[in-house]
Structure formats: C-alpha cells, structure tokens
Amino acid sequence: MYQGSCLCGAITLEVHGAIDAIIHCHCSKCRKSSGTAYATNGFVNTADVQLKTGQALLAGYEASPGKVRHFCRVCASPIYSSNTQTPNKLRIRLGILDTDIVERPISHNFVSSKANWDELDADLPHYNGHEPSRHGKL
C-alpha cells in the first residue's frame, strides 16, 4: 500500500495496488501543470485508489476532451488525471506519494517537447539540502 497527500495535507489517499508504466512526461501540458521540466506519472487501477480525506477539495480541469487533471483546490497540488477512454485507470502524480515505491520509471516521454534548458544531466552536483550558494538569500 502507498500513501500520499497534497502539499497542504488536506487531501490524503491510499493506493492499494501496483503502479504501472511510470514515465517522466516532458509534454508541454505536464510541464505547465507541474511548473517544472517534467511530471513523473504512473498508472494505477481506479479501484485501488482510496481518498481518505479531502474528497470535497478535489477539483478538476478538463485539459482536453475526456481528460481531467484533478488537483487540490486549496494548495493546487496535482493529484491524478482521469480519462473517459480508460475509466478503470488513473494516472497518479508520483510526487504526491509519501511512502517509498518499489516500481521504477521506464522512460522519458515527449522529449521532443522538453524544455530547452532541461539537459537531463546526471553529472550535476547533488546536495542533501539547499545548494550552498542559497544560504543567506532566502
């Protein structure tokens, strides 16, 4: 079982099943809805998702016909997407999960649409906190 929550904690959920086809999506819609270079999404069975709290705070935006992006109306965290073509599946945003997952991403998708500044550079420095140059600038 996986547990997740939005940024403000008003919406909490559990996923009682596997997460399939995890991808890093670089399409312009995912970039705009996440405000970052890409969104990491995975498919889950609709029946495996249980909203524990905040169901009344779950809002939706129909980004294209039949495809709805669901988010918290308090903090605007993206939660998952639904599609009328596949009502038995939800595409969950992995960033909302609070527990570790065992599944791993299988691909970067829509790389021809990726942000021109996104180099997918694994050689960049890694820090456990803020980058050292940020100290005193917050």
Number of domains into which the chain is organized: 1
Mean pLDDT of 85-105: 95
Q: How far apart are alpha carbons 91 and 43 in whole angstroms? A: 4
Q: Where are the alpha helices (DSSP H) in the chain?
A: 28-34
Task: Tell me the pTM.
Answer: 0.85
Buried b (16+ CB within 10 A) or exposed e, 121-132: eeeeeeeeeeee
Structure tokens at 138: 């917050």
Per-residue pLDDT reduced to its tens digit, 50-61: 999 999 999 999
Helix, strand, coil distribution of the chain in percent, nearest 5: 15, 40, 45
Q: Compute the mean pLDDT over every residue in the chain, rounded to the nearest whole number.
A: 90
Q: Who wins on pLDDT, 116 or 46?
A: 46
Domain residues for 23?
Answer: 2-134
In the chain, the percentage of residues whose pLDDT exceeds 90 is: 66
* Amino acid at residue number 54: G
> 80 has which bridge partners?
70, 92
Structure tokens at 38: 């890409």
User: What's 55's domain CATH number?
Assistant: 2.170.150.70
Confidence of residue 130 (pLDDT cuts 50, 70, 90): low
Q: How far apart are alpha carbons 18 and 31 in whole angstroms? A: 25
